[in-house]
């Protein structure tokens, strides 16, 4: 349960190795968050991060294994974490893969991997998390969508379509939770300098993990439903969404 001032006390991160997620958790622990569970694809890489979070004041820090693609086990995993650690104020869905667009255009298995992790993986965890949060009567699901899902681009449509799907699902889930005490906050960053984008040319309005973390923490305090990072992307995308396709596909995006 958030404290009397509305501060987040406990967070579960799905995709615990994500640079954006870790920046967010560091910021939350710098506030009043004391319980952190990092569910990670490669938990063995997070021992130092766990020590750092403990040193920063978190009293419970656990790293547990999690594969977003192993959808059959997700409901049992989520139930197990809530049973073991108690209520979570925030569940951050941060896993994702960018994939290789050139390969995925011609290789269905490569395209499906992006769809499975980003879209099916999100649905598969969001449903049981929402169900447990309905039961506890409070909580916020924060999900890292992307500006790429707002309108799929020629250069990035495999990833973009998976983000469009997860974003649409989460909007509906958020609507279905109105009145339950549970919220969904969808975060749509533009280009962020992280492991995922290493070696790529930064897009216009590129930002950092710390800036996304700040926007998430501010969004949680405000009870926002949608957070764009940087905020100006909201206006850029509201124009780009309506550009006719023959023109849109020629834009250098
Ligand atoms: N960076 C950007 O420009 C940008 C922009 C908009 C949205 N986003 C979204 O923000 C989220 C976080 O990305 P990031 O930028 O922080 O990149 P990141 O550091 O590469 O984080 C992505 C995380 O997803 C995990 N992951 C991948 N496949 C997984 C699987 N099957 N099961 C469990 N975890 C898996 C990765 O774990 P391993 O590395 O251990 O496999 C990694 O920790 C993603 O959803 C991404 O799509 C990123």
Residues 182-198 as b/e (b if ≥16 CB within 10 A, e otherwise) read bbbbbbbbbbbebeeee
Q: Is the pLDDT of residue 241 over 90?
A: yes
Of 119, 159, 169, 228, the catalytic one is 159
Residues near ligand 1 with C-beta < 6 Å?
A: 15, 17-20, 41-42, 66-69, 94-97, 117, 144, 146, 189, 191-192, 194-197
Model confidence band, residue 2 (pLDDT cutoffs 50, 70, 90): confident
The fraction of the chain above a pLDDT of 70, given in percent, is 99
Give the DSSP H or E segment for 74. Answer: helix 74-85
Q: Is the pLDDT of residue 75 over 80?
A: yes
Q: Which residue's CA is minimally distant from atom 22 of ligand 1?
A: 18
Model confidence band, residue 253 (pLDDT cutoffs 50, 70, 90): confident
| Nearest Cα residue to 209 out of 229, 225, 193 | 193
pLDDT for 148 equals 97
What values do phi and psi take at 12, rounded to 5?
-110, 125
Residue range 186-201, pLDDT digits in tens: 999 999 999 999 999 9
pLDDT for 223 equals 96
**Best substitution site from 96, 201, 253 to test ligand 1's pocket, by max atoms within 8 Å of Cβ?**
96
pLDDT for 248 equals 94
pLDDT for 14 equals 98
C-alpha 147 to ligand 1 mean position (Å): 15
Q: Is the pLDDT of residue 5 over 80?
A: no
Residue range 134-189, pLDDT digits in tens: 999 999 999 999 999 999 999 999 999 999 999 999 999 999 999 999 999 999 99
d(CA 49, CA 29): 12
Q: H-type helices in 116-176, by residue range?
A: 121-136, 157-176
pTM attached to this predicted model? 0.97
Q: Are 39 and 62 in contact (CB under 8 A)?
A: no
pLDDT for 80 equals 98
C-alpha 15 to ligand 1 mean position (Å): 7
Q: Are 60 and 34 in contact (CB under 8 A)?
A: yes
pLDDT for 1 equals 79
pLDDT for 190 equals 97
pLDDT for 224 equals 98
Residue range 21-60, pLDDT digits in tens: 999 999 999 999 999 999 999 999 999 999 999 999 999 9
Q: Which residue's CA is minimally distant from atom 25 of ligand 1?
A: 95
C-alpha 69 to ligand 1 mean position (Å): 13
Q: Is 159 a catalytic residue?
A: yes
Q: Which residue's CA is minimally distant from atom 41 of ligand 1?
A: 41
d(CA 249, CA 253): 8
Residue range 90-111, pLDDT digits in tens: 999 999 999 999 999 999 999 9
């Amino acid at each position: 349960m958030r404290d009397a001032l509305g501060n987040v006390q406990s967070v579960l991160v799905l995709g615990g190795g994500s640079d954006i997620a870790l920046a967010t958790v560091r910021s939350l622990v710098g506030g009043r968050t004391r319980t952190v569970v990092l569910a990670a694809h490669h938990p063995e890489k997070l021992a130092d991060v766990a020590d750092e979070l403990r040193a920063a004041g978190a009293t419970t820090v656990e790293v547990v294994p999690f594969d977003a693609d192993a959808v059959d086990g997700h409901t049992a995993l989520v139930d197990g974490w809530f049973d073991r650690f108690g209520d979570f104020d925030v569940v951050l869905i941060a896993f994702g893969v960018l994939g290789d667009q050139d390969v995925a255009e011609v290789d269905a298995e490569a395209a499906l991997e992006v769809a499975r992790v980003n879209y099916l993986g999100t649905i598969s965890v969001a449903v049981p998390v929402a169900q447990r949060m309905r039961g506890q009567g409070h909580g916020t699901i924060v999900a890292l969508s992307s500006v790429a899902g707002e309108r799929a681009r020629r250069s990035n449509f495999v990833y973009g379509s998976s983000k469009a799907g997860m974003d649409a699902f989460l909007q509906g889930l958020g609507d279905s939770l109105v009145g339950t005490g549970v919220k969904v906050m969808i975060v749509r960053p533009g280009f962020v300098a992280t492991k995922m984008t290493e070696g790529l040319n930064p897009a216009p309005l590129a930002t950092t993990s710390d800036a996304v973390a700040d926007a998430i923490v501010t969004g949680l305090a405000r009870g926002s439903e949608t957070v764009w990072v940087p905020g100006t992307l909201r206006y850029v995308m509201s124009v780009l969404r309506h550009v006719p396709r023959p023109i849109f596909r020629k834009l250098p995006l």
